[in-house]
Structure 1
Amino acid sequence: MIPSLPRPLAQRLGLNAFVLLFFVFLFVPLLVVAVFAFNNANYPTPPWMGFTLDWFTAQSGSRTGLLHDGPLLASLGTSAWVALWVTLLSVGVGTCNAFLLERFEFPGKGLIALLSMLPLVIPGVILGISILALASRVANFADEMWGLQLDFLRPGLPLVILGQFCYIVTIATLTISASLRRFDRTLEDAAYNLGASRIAVLWTVTLPYLRPSMVGAAAMAFLMSFENFNTTLMLVGSEPPLTVLMYSRMREGATPVLNAISLFLMLASALLALLLLWRKPKAD
């Protein structure tokens, strides 16, 4: 339908109702979590019992606020540490993959590109179990045959990083490849004609063009790693990331301190999104 043409009243009302319901479904649960982070009750759900900052600042009595909850803060740091490594690995390897798939021709290229997409369609639980089974078999074989203790192949943070990296690198590769595909290679040819070396052209011409997509891929990788639960649960050891710790506390009986950490994460995610939007015009 041409946008300038008048639309029937029922169609306009139906479209507006759909948009309204979509945003209600999207934002009302987040609003409820944010509001009840300040509820003066020992449970994170209605009814409202009054305003309090205990779930952020309390340190004594029956309440421990977010700022004094050692295990929760430690798990937050663990998630950030894992996400940082996953981001660095995903963007680095994803950039190399993008150049390999976009700039080179070799036998089996199509098959390799197809196989690299498989982690996106494999459920996270299956991916985690498969990685755990393979890593455990390799570690046990090395221990039995040569007496090597490959602890990084046992459940723990290195295996969590590896498991998340296996599928997040695919998303980084797709993001950077899409940008590299649009790149005008005559700019590189001009630099070569002016006497620039291959490394100089890569550093001063190609990578600056790819920087926005690399930053976007890094942001996606960090957020996807930080919020991952299914794969992480299968591979975690004695240092649980935030999502695993929150899950275990929900099973034991949640308190509004989980609402408080959820509000903190919502604000941090919104700040990151605003920062990326603010930097986008400069990147272009």
Structure 2
Amino acid sequence: MIPTVPRPAFAKWCYRAYVTVFFIYLALPLTVVCIFAFNNSVFPSPPWEGFTVAWFFGTEAPFIGVFHERPILRAIGTSTFVALWVSGLAVAVGTCNAFLFVRHEFKGKALLYMLMLLPLIIPGVILGISILVFSSTIANTLEDATGLWFDGLRPGLILVILGQFSFITTFATLVISARLQKFDPSLEEAALNLGATQLGAIRQITLPFLMPAILASAIVSVLMSFENFNTTLMLVGSDSPLTITMFDKLKQGSTPVLNAVSLLLIVISAVLGLFSLFFPKSKR
């Protein structure tokens, strides 16, 4: 609704009620998960049996806390490894893409831009299957020709990283491009007139200007990598990231330890999200 347009009091009340119900709808499932992470019961659901932190720090069965659950800790380490690689690759390539699409004009630019956006509209399962079939076909061809075994083209962490990188890079490109479009090219021209090289002007002037967007895209990439399930499920090998491990545990029978993991992820995501929001303001 447009604030400057007069509207009846009933319309205002309906709009406020809608916004309230909408945010309750979003927050209620997360709130329930967070509350039952402290439930003194082996079931992650009502009734409430009392307050406990055993699902975080417990060491005796059945109350094995998340900080003592080796499969969960191993999965967190795997997800961190994947997320850091995906974030680094996505930011590096996204920065190059931003310069390409914002600074240069060439034939096929519109088509190339559409191809870059294509992974955003392709379902994650389809994207994962496509990458798996493509990489397996290449691996089979190379193995038949050389007699060697190409592990990197088989399901595993390398393929998971490449699969997530294939669509997370698009988000990084959009975030950095939006910042680059606000940059005044005359600043670079002034640096060149003062004797700086093209690369030096970009390194000393343009990249510091882009740093808030680069940092924000890195945080978004890490969070998207951590929460990705559909694409990862199609490409995972013996080392399972956190989402796959939680899914496997859920099939075996859920316990509040999954609620505890979810609470930790919510807190970490919120902290990183707030940091990405306030960091650009501190740089202005």
Indicate the TM-score class for this superposition, using the shorter chain for normalisation. over 0.9
Matched residue, 2:142? 142
Q: Any gaps of 5 or more consecutive residues in structure 2?
A: none
Distance 1:5 1:44, change over 3 A: same
Confirm whether residue 244 of structure 1 aligns to residue 244 of structure 2. Answer: yes
Aligned counterpart, 1:75: 75
Query: Which is further off, 78-87 or 101-110?
Result: 101-110
TM-score (norm 1): 0.96
What is the rounded CA distance, in whole Å, between the counterparts of 1:255 and 1:271 in structure 2?
26
Which residue of 1 is the match for residue 165 of structure 2?
Answer: 165
Q: CA deviation at 1:9?
A: 2.5
Matched, 1:233 2:246: no
For residues 6 and 121 of structure 1, the distance between their equivalents in structure 2, rounded to whole angstroms, comes to: 38
TM-superposed CA distance for 1:10, in Å, is 1.4
Structure 2 Cα separation of the partners of residues 276 and 12 of structure 1: 32
Local SS of the residue matching 1:117? helix
Distance 1:26 1:243, change over 3 A: same
CA distance in 1 between partners of 2:2 and 2:178 (Å): 30
What CA distance in whole angstroms lies between the structure 1 residues aligned with 2:88 and 2:5? Answer: 50
Instruction: State the match for 2:40 in structure 1.
Output: 40
After superposition, give the CA deviation of every residue in 1:151-192 in whole Å (9 maximum; x if it has no partner): 011100000000000011111111111221221111111111
1:26-175 equivalences in 2 (<5 Å):
26-175=26-175
Rounded Cα–Cα distance in structure 1 between residues aligned with 2:66 and 2:111? 49
Gaps of 5+ in 1: none
Superposed CA RMSD in Å reads: 1.4
Q: Does the CA contact (< 8 Å) of 2:54 and 2:63 recur in 1?
A: yes
Indicate the SS of the match to 2:64: coil
In structure 2, distance between residues paired with 1:13 and 1:44:
37
Alignment of 1:7-18 (within 5 A): 7-18=7-18
Post-superposition shift, 1:148?
2.2
**Structure 1 residues 196 and 65: alpha-carbon distance in aligned structure 2, compared to 1, 3 A threshold:** same
Shift, 1:105, TM fit? 2.4
Q: Distance in 2 between matches of 1:62 and 1:96?
A: 51
TM-score by length of 2: 0.96
The runs of at least 4 consecutive aligned structure 1 residues that moved more than 4 Å come to none
How many angstroms does 1:2 deviate by?
Answer: 6.6
**1:118-143 Cα deviation digits (max 9, x unpaired):** 11111000000000001111111111
Instruction: Kindly provide the amino acid, as one letter, of the partner of residue 106 in structure 1.
Output: F
Amino acid at match of 1:31: T
Report the secondary structure of 1:231's partner residue.
Answer: helix
Does the aligned pair in 1 maintain the 2:72–2:245 contact within 8 Å? yes
Q: How does 1:166-245 map to 2 (within 5 A)?
A: 166-245=166-245
The AA in structure 1 aligned to 2:255 is T
Task: Return the offset for 1:4.
Answer: 5.5
Which shows bigger deviation, 82-91 or 180-189?
180-189
For the Cα contact (< 8 Å) 2:212–2:279, is it kept in 1? Answer: no
Q: Quote the residue 1:261 is aligned against.
A: 261
Q: How many Å separate the matches in 1 of 2:151 and 2:131?
A: 14
Letter in 1 for 2:242: L
Secondary structure of 2:19's partner? helix
Q: 1:199 to 1:32 in 2, by over 3 A?
A: same
Question: Using the alignment, how far apart are the partners of 1:274 and 1:107 within structure 2?
Answer: 40
> Structure 1 stretch 267-276 or stretch 92-101: which is displaced more?
267-276
Identity %: 53
Distance 2:149 2:2 in 1: 67
Letter in 1 for 2:14: G
Superimposed CA distance per residue, residues 223-246 of structure 1 (whole angstroms, 9 cap, x where no aligned partner): 111100000000000011000111
What is the CA deviation profile of residues 188-208 of structure 1, one whole-angstrom value per residue up to 9, with x for unaligned ones?
111111111112101111111
